[in-house]
Structure 1
Amino acid sequence: MLRLPDAFLDQLQAEDTPHGDLTTIALAIGERPGRMRFSARAPQVVCCVEEAVRLIERAGAQVSAYCRSGDFLPSGALILEATGPAEALLLSWKVAQTLIEATSGISTAVRHLVEAAERGGGAVVACTRKTFPGAKAASLKAVYAGGGVPHRLGLSDSLLVFPEHRVFLGADTADALRHLKAACPEKKVVAEVINVDEALQMARIGIDVLQLEKFPPEAVAETVRALSDLPSPPVLAAAGGVNAGNAEAYVRAGAKILVSSSPYWAKPADVSVKITADGPGHAGHAIPS
């Protein structure tokens, strides 16, 4: 599982508490011992448990984790428990909670896509590079936790020829794409197409993967039929508007890869936090999400 660097966690903490926790300092309660428990308020595929543990530990508390990123948790399941001074618990509480909630929302949405694809016969769920700016590492960890893979990490790692590239090629498109394959023999060439005719044209050139942009499932099936006479037809990736509601239909139509950005905008998961002061006469307080 991807490990987010401590520098990233320090940045998250610094955004929330650049000069300490003024309320805790002014109340003079920082040294009082306490306990903090994170639990799943609703079923979810949890993510960034390891990072939440490190956030809290780096604030000065001791933490025990009861699950790992990628685990499915039923409602009420304990995620982690921390003990230490109030200043450490209160400093790290909201940053750790928000990180788990945001990434677990993504990983849960990815898992729903994976399950829908499995109902259709099975396909790879690949999430795009359209993450929220600055959140790529955490988003990718959530994709892995949900059972998906990155579609592309960025422009530097893969070959994807868009129609916007091809407008600069003109009549030389076929030769240019064959040259591209020869220039980067260790990489597969992906081409995005917007209709069945383009798909057939790119397939005849020898493109490895066709990204079918905004094809409805019936158009994916039509593409499969159009390519069936080729000796080595390309792999078909459905893209644009793919979600858990239509993923099964896309797989049944013949898509082997489901390309989606939708998990990145999923509703955050719901994590309950309860903080108690250790010692007689102290009651816990459940923190609303």
Structure 2
Amino acid sequence: MSLDPLPAIMTEPVVRAALLEDLGRAGDITTEAVIPAETRMRVHMTSRQNGTVAGIGIAVQAFRLMDPELSCEVLKEDGSPVAPGDAVLRIEGRARPILSAERVALNFACRLSGIASATAVLAAAAKAHGHARIACTRKTTPGLRALEKYAVRAGGGANHRFGLDDAVLIKDNHVAAAGGITNAVKAARGHVGHLVKIELEVDTLAQLEEALQIGIDAVLLDNMGPDMLRAAVAMVAGRAITEASGRITAETVPAIAAAGVDLISCGWLTHSAPILDLGLDFEG
């Protein structure tokens, strides 16, 4: 798949901060003590599991921030499926910067590949049973949102809003504080510009009916079972985007997708997806 990388101006500060955290106040004292400065090496970053890779370019950035002269050859582009033993990146050059950047590079690549892998599994299950796309949420690691949402795209998913400022999402607490659905939606519509979409979270079909009478761009159908989702989609009848959320797993996605919703959002993709096990293997 074709996936545009994130601009370096967005990613370099995060990678640089991770390297500085690891190097501490004295640098890599182990590598400097054990490895002569002139030593060179060639290594491969290799997958230990089946999955989908993401963050390989971020790993390259980590290595090259330690030494711009390192040779880094990407063997598997972000979004590519991998199997155990597949090499995804080859690095060659001075041994010291390679070894010093190894853990930070792997931390990013393993984390982002884990997100992409989990997304790919859900996306495949949804595609087999309907037209719904898998979407992430704002439940991201502080400071890593852009990277983690990129990893979702690498896995074939879609991004929900990036922050509080790019769309309106009226949730149950907003409704309670505003004095009801109608009050909340009218207030939002009067406050934001004409290009800003408004989504409303609903828990019942009665709430959905009220939302449809007011007019809404999207509805978040929260914690509804497949039968209720099917009824909700029929009620909406194309008048708004339908998004299902709550208790999303690879096992529940088929029935949710078959209900006909447009989106299935899943917070655990970015807050607790397991990593994809990648390692750095010495060559020769």
TM, length-normalised to structure 1 = 0.88
Give the whole-Å Cα distance in 1 for the aligned partners of 2:35 and 2:45: 25
1:118 matched to 2:127? The reply is: yes
Q: Secondary structure at the match of 2:177?
A: coil
Tell me what 1:166 maps to.
175
8 Å contact kept, 1:243–1:262:
no
Q: Secondary structure at the match of 1:93?
A: helix
8 Å contact kept, 2:174–2:184:
no
Deviation at 1:176, TM superposition (A): 4.9
Letter in 2 for 1:149: A
Percent sequence identity is 27
Tell me what 1:86 maps to.
95
1:41 matched to 2:82? The reply is: no
1:270 matched to 2:283? The reply is: no
1:109 matched to 2:108? The reply is: no
Give the whole-Å Cα distance in 1 for the aligned partners of 2:83 and 2:228: 38
Tell me what 2:37 maps to.
30
Tell me what 1:191 maps to.
200
Residue ranges of structure 1 left out of the alignment (5+ in a row): 277-283, 285-289
Give the whole-Å Cα distance in 1 for the aligned partners of 2:124 and 2:83: 17
Alpha-carbon distance change, 261 to 193 in structure 1, aligned in 2, over 3 angstroms: same
Give the whole-Å Cα distance in 2 for the aligned partners of 1:177 and 1:101: 41
Give the whole-Å Cα distance in 2 for the aligned partners of 1:156 and 1:269: 32
Deviation at 1:272, TM superposition (A): 2.6
Give the whole-Å Cα distance in 2 for the aligned partners of 1:36 and 1:268: 21
Deviation at 1:110, TM superposition (A): 0.7
8 Å contact kept, 2:171–2:200:
yes
1:139 matched to 2:148? The reply is: yes
1:178 matched to 2:186? The reply is: yes
Residue ranges of structure 2 left out of the alignment (5+ in a row): none
8 Å contact kept, 1:123–1:255:
yes
Tell me what 2:247 maps to.
241
Give the whole-Å Cα distance in 2 for the aligned partners of 1:28 and 1:224: 63
Letter in 2 for 1:23: T
Instruction: Compare CA radii of gyration and give the structure with the larger one.
Output: 1
Deviation at 1:200, TM superposition (A): 1.2
Tell me what 1:254 maps to.
260
Deviation at 1:252, TM superposition (A): 0.8
Give the whole-Å Cα distance in 1 for the aligned partners of 2:183 and 2:275: 47
Tell me what 2:162 maps to.
153
Tell me what 1:287 maps to.
none
8 Å contact kept, 1:129–1:150:
no
8 Å contact kept, 1:56–1:62:
no
8 Å contact kept, 1:63–1:83:
yes
Q: Deviations over 1:19-64 (max 9, x none)?
A: 3111112225232111111111112110111111121122222211
TM, length-normalised to structure 2 = 0.90
Q: Across the two proteins, how many residue pairs are aligned to each other? A: 273
Deviation at 1:181, TM superposition (A): 2.9
Deviation at 1:206, TM superposition (A): 0.6
1:75 matched to 2:81? The reply is: no
8 Å contact kept, 1:238–1:258:
yes
8 Å contact kept, 1:44–1:72:
yes
Deviation at 1:192, TM superposition (A): 0.2
Q: Secondary structure at the match of 1:244?
A: coil
Give the whole-Å Cα distance in 2 for the aligned partners of 1:259 and 1:90: 38
